[in-house]
Structure 1
Amino acid sequence: MTSEILVEKTKLDKPPLTIHFLGDRVLRQSAKRVARVDDEVRQLVREMLASMYTADGIGLAAPQVGVTKQAIVVDCEPDNAATPPFVLINPKIKKYSRDECVYEEGCLSIPNVYLDVKRPSAIEVSFKDEHGRPQNLKASGLLARCIQHEMDHLHGVLFVDRVENTLALTEQLSKHGFSLQAVKRVA
């Protein structure tokens, strides 16, 4: 179920891809489905993983690196070399749990901003792996949260759009030089 794409879980001097930040238009675009999983897509995924590890992240979506394709990578154990990452191409959530939980989230596109977000605590997701094979995954806890967070990016949604505490949101964004006008609230 996990990826067979091997990328060293190390920080590079210069990541292969540039991560875009809150306020950049590319983060608000909807990603397009990947028509065919080929070597180009596999190379993109390798570069996304290398960039994610370099930035100390646990998830990254293609739109965050300026590529409007439905591809995300997730690794909730970046310090464990034995645990391979997840590669989800054209992911689609089939089921959400009724249980929701609030947990602090951050984002490589909004550095140093950490705020509470309420999300379903478990999901079932279908996707294609790096070989184009259809897969299904039941996820809970941090993995479910991370997949939902990254999938939001595929629809132009950022975690700050889901933050309910407006005071904390305003305070955190201004403290780190981001504009509240860049937030687009979702219900």
Structure 2
Amino acid sequence: MRRGTIPGSSGRVRPMRLLGDPGLVAPCEEVTDFDADLATLVEDMFATMYAAGGVGLAANQIGVPLKVFVYDCPDDEDRRHLGHLVNPRLVTAEGITVRGPEVCLSVPGIEAGTPRFDEAVVEGFTADGRAVQVRGTGFFARCLQHECDHLRGGLYLDHVTGLRRRRALRAVRRSGLDGAPPQAPVLDRRTG
């Protein structure tokens, strides 16, 4: 087995881009060539997502500025949703807004309560150019919105406000993800 591969996958694990990388905040470009290189990219994205323990991954998270994302994500009823989208477009995000814990492979170790709509519909294409529409509810809807945000150059932290945002950004500073040296945690004497 090649180093960096997942058993049963033809993809290779690629390095993850982390918060602070300019490629994460730049909008991605439309895919124009539905060819073998695109199919390889999708396989590599699945391998990278699985290696990192994620449920979704956008191409710019591995340094490829194209509108592609992969997912292997459950919904709130624990139904598995597995697939990929090329040139996805968030058609609708509606229903109730639910604030739930959200994390990102490009912002490791930082979780924040993030508001997302409970229903989402995304249209796009498969790697072979077939038009598809994906509907999600609950956690899967959150995943679809999260990955579409990445392709527009956004992060889930952009949706976090108030005290939750301050706490998340403080955690980012402590981790060193913002480019500064990691800070030692401040002990809270009230909690021991």
Which digits, 9 at most, give the CA deviation of each residue in 1:64-109, with x for residues without a partner? 00000000001115xxxxx672101111111121411111111110
- Corresponding residue for residue 169 of structure 2: 170
**What's the Cα RMSD here?**
2.3
Identical counterparts, % of pairs: 31
- Corresponding residue for residue 147 of structure 1: 144
- Corresponding residue for residue 98 of structure 2: 101
* Structure 1 unaligned residues grouped into runs of 5+: 1-7, 78-82, 182-187
**Contact kept? 1:10, 1:54, Cα under 8 Å:** no
Structure 1 counterpart of 2:47, from 47, 50, 56: 50
Deviation of the 1:125 alpha carbon:
1.2
Runs of 4+ aligned residues of structure 1 deviating over 3 Å after TM superposition are 8-12
**Contact kept? 2:18, 2:177, Cα under 8 Å:** no
Between Structure 1 and Structure 2, the one with more strand by share is 2
Of stretches 46-55 and 138-147 in structure 1, the one that deviates more from structure 2 is 138-147
Structure 1 or 2, whichever has the larger Rg, is 2
- Corresponding residue for residue 73 of structure 1: 70
| Alignment of 1:28 onto 2:28 | no
Structure 2 counterpart of 1:114, from 106, 111, 133: 111
Partners of 1:11 and 1:28 in 2: CA distance: 33
Partners of 2:167 and 2:8 in 1: CA distance: 31
Please give the residue correspondences for 1:129-144 in structure 2 after superposition, counting only pairs within 5 Å.
Answer: 129-144=126-141
Which TM-score applies when normalising by structure 2?
A: 0.80
Deviation of the 1:36 alpha carbon:
2.7
Letter paired with 2:169? T
Letter paired with 2:175? H
Deviation of the 1:20 alpha carbon:
0.5
Greater relative contact order (CA < 8 Å, ≥ 6 in sequence): 1
| Alignment of 1:61 onto 2:45 | no
- Corresponding residue for residue 84 of structure 2: 87
Of stretches 17-26 and 93-102 in structure 1, the one that deviates more from structure 2 is 93-102
Which digits, 9 at most, give the CA deviation of each residue in 1:25-63, with x for residues without a partner? 111111101113211101000001001100111110000
Partners of 1:66 and 1:9 in 2: CA distance: 20
Partners of 1:172 and 1:160 in 2: CA distance: 12
Which TM-score applies when normalising by structure 1?
A: 0.82
Partners of 1:169 and 1:153 in 2: CA distance: 18
